[in-house]
Amino acid sequence: MSKINIGGQAVLEGVMMRAPRSMAIAVRRPDGEISVKSETVIPLSERFPITKLPIVRGAVALFSSLIIGIKALNFSANEALAEGEEKEEINDWAIAGTMAVAFGFGILLFFILPLYLTKLLIPIIGDSNIVFNLVDGVIRVAVFLIYIIGISRMKDIQRVFQYHGAEHKSIFTFEAGEELTVDNVRKYSCLHPRCGTSFLLIVMLVSIVVFSLIPKLWPFYFKAGSRIILLPMIAGLSYEVLKWTAKHDNHALVKMVIAPGLALQRLTTREPDDSQLEVAIKSMQVALELNDGFKDDRLVV
């Protein structure tokens, strides 16, 4: 098969893999069987050429990944339920509501809260716009790290992080051109430079630069509103940074740039067992088969 970019996401007791024209979710059921759901994906760039533009493609990729990710979580939650429990599919409106709540919570926690805390510190940090935005950025990254560390201590999340490691190992194996077997996949690292965790950290850092352009003297609600409006641009810029580092990850300077993201992945990945590797392999095999060797040089986050 021609080389393509493939990305993924850990879900409850499983892994979702996405190729340019396909998506597959594999989940380990309570009875030990692996349940798989797959579907073809029509690239938005075929319907809307504007989505091929730099920065725009990153913002589109982020929101499309959120939609697919929530659908994958919905499927995995139903399949991972104990036998005998009633399963109920979530409709599109419920998915949209879940996305809105999750997105709103993320904005409040990682963007509005740091801004408010920095505003309270003005008597201490002074009137410098540079200092204001640096302090705001440091608080934002600190809140992000505290959040990651906090959820990483939850038992159920730790299992998700094991599947996250299995996802990365499977992608490494595919990128190396090796056969997708448990023995081959097991030997690779859990830390991948094109990971969503690294992307989120890049978002945090890029936002420091972008938000520094907002005048400090603006009223609080103007600043808060502008941050929400600027999020698509920040996501797009962050995507371009991730795409560039993924293509040049052997360069010494790039290795320094991606090092913090890889370090952060030590919190969001765990070493998987062989049964979890089997699930990740199955997901990738189905996605690749459905993709049918479609050539694409786009980055899938």
How many angstroms separate the Cα of 82 from the Cα of each of 32, 79, 154, 157, 219? Answer: 11, 8, 20, 18, 51
Does position 174 have pLDDT exceeding 50, yes or no?
yes
Q: What is the pTM of this model?
A: 0.87
What would the pLDDT profile of 196-218 be if each residue is shown by its tens digit?
889 988 998 899 889 888 887 78
Compute the distance between CA of residue 37 and CA of residue 80 in angstroms, rounded to an integer. 13
> Mean pLDDT across the stretch 236-255?
87
Greater model confidence, 239 or 126: 239
Q: Give me the pLDDT at residue 43, please.
A: 76
| Count of helix runs (H) and strand runs (E) in the chain | 12, 4
Q: Is the dihedral of CA 283, 287, 288, 289 positive or negative?
A: positive
Q: Of 182, 162, 164, whose CA–CA distance to 173 is shortest? A: 182
Q: Give me the pLDDT at residue 82, please.
A: 55
Name the token pair of 136: 């705001």
Q: Of 134, 151, 132, 141, whose CA–CA distance to 111 is shortest? A: 141
State whether residue 48 is helix, strand or coil: coil
Sorted by sequence, the CB contacts under 8 Å of residue 16 that are 6+ apart come out as 8, 9, 10, 23, 24, 25, 68, 69, 72, 76, 283
> Mean pLDDT across the stretch 150-155?
90
Does position 94 have pLDDT exceeding 70, yes or no?
no
What would the pLDDT profile of 28-64 be if each residue is shown by its tens digit?
999 999 999 999 888 777 788 888 888 898 888 888 8
Q: Give me the pLDDT at residue 246, please.
A: 82
Residues 115/223, Cβ–Cβ less than 8 Å:
yes
Q: Give me the pLDDT at residue 4, please.
A: 79
